[in-house]
Amino acid sequence: MAKEIERKFLVASGSWREAADGGTRFRQAYIVTMDDRSARVRLMDDQRAKLTIKIGSGAMTRDEFEYEIPVDDARDMMSKAIGLIIEKTRYKVHHHGFVWEVDVYAGAHEGLVVAEVELGAEGDTPALPNWLGAEVTGDPHYSNQYLSTSPLVSKADHELSYSPF
């Protein structure tokens, strides 16, 4: 069993792009969603697929089980999804010894850009890049599980003042 320990932030500017990789397109859907657990299927660049089970209700830490699955199985599971299929492109940005993942959402959540950093322990204190905005760690409104079943409160609240592309 692996532990997922992460912090999450809104992104305030596009300067992260200078250090970003080429990105990976994700389509993900939830097939089970409860307050303290979820099962999701994720398709990456239409070439690889994973099934992920997350258990726990901590703000920063949850148990995570992740398995490669056949792409056709992932597509079949997505057809049975609860709520929306999340569409986003994930970019990796290295910053002072940590890898930040910047998710640029498309589809129903276009305009939302969120950055996450995975930690080795809850006490880790990564240097925060200057392109970060407000921290939303533990705010359920920014979890992909929530986004799959609920629209943003106000899309305008999350629109960027810059173009993420």
Active site (catalytic) residues: 30
Closest Cα to residue 92, out of 12, 16, 14? Answer: 16
φ and ψ of 162, to 5 deg: -130, 165
Counting runs of H as helices and runs of E as strands, what totals does the chain give? 2, 9
Coil, strand or helix: which one is 139?
A: coil
Of 112, 95, 91, 102, which is closest to residue 8 (Cα–Cα)? 102
Residues present in the chain in total: 165
SS3 129: coil
